[in-house]
Amino acid sequence: RREQARLKDSVVEEDTEEWQKDPHFTGLERVGGVDLSYIKGDESRACASLVVLSYPALEVLYQDCRMVAVSAPYVAGFLAFREVPVLVEAVQRLQQEEPQLQPQVLLVDGNGLLHPRGFGTACHLGVLTDLPCIGVAKNLLHVDGLARDELHREQVRSLQRSGETFPLTGTSGKVLGMVLRSYNNSSRPLYVSVGHRVSLGTAVRLVRACCRFRIPEPIRQVRPRPRQHGR
């Protein structure tokens, strides 16, 4: 908890890059996605994956998927301590091998500020890599009074078209994230939250811009596959 609190002090909840402030994201050329996929029946080994896509074409520029040993135990609310170290290594490998392909922002399959202590995986990874990060979750984390109750389900049903949103406001009064209908053909929303060095509004706009289907391409393209990369 002390380490989490110490790192949380470094989180920046606002836009820091010029491209973030442009309505068309002019200047954004590379968007990354990361994920950790566990081997079925073996929680000690996983595939740490990093993909970098071009923007706005969303074509794969770089892929890296490596089997890694995961030694830290799973503790609810502290998942980042188990997963982030190997994701940081993947980013560092890219920076050493193909520095020109370093992503300008990372989309993380998980949460950022939408977390019991306001410091989810997207925040943790962002602080340690100093890259803008966005949390993109498929399910609602029940924190600060948020729940998938009838009111929440009614609000989700009110999202009729791609791009429509509503804020996730906890009982503390703080807006922890945004519910986004990302795809016309799917009524299941995404839960977007700030990770690091990005505002919530920019995070939502970028996630939507990266969606050809329900899941944004940088996360959809992060699948276990043989290691390969290149232009």
Inter-CA distances, 202 with 5, 32, 132, 144, Å: 25, 16, 11, 23
Using CA atoms in the order 191, 196, 199, 203, what is the torsion angle rounded to 10 degrees? Answer: -40
- Residue 166 pLDDT exceeds 50: yes
Provide the pLDDT for residue 202. 98
Q: Which pLDDT band holds residue 73 (cuts at 50, 70, 90)?
A: low
- Confidence grade of residue 75 (pLDDT, cut at 50, 70, 90): low
Rounded CA separation 123/103 (Å): 16
Please tell me the predicted confidence (pLDDT) of residue 78: 59
Looking at 1.10.10.60, 3.30.70.1230, 3.30.2170.10, 3.90.230.10, the CATH number of the domain 1-222 comes to 3.30.2170.10
Which H or E element spans position 196? strand 190-196
Does residue 225 have a pLDDT over 70? no
pLDDT (0 to 100) of residue 229: 36
Give me the mean pLDDT over the 194-214 stretch: 98
| 93-111: average pLDDT | 96
Describe the strand order of the beta sheet including 175-180 as a list of residue ranges: 60-69, 42-54, 30-39, 105-109, 133-137, 190-196, 175-180, 165-169
Which residues are bridge partners to 196 per DSSP?
133
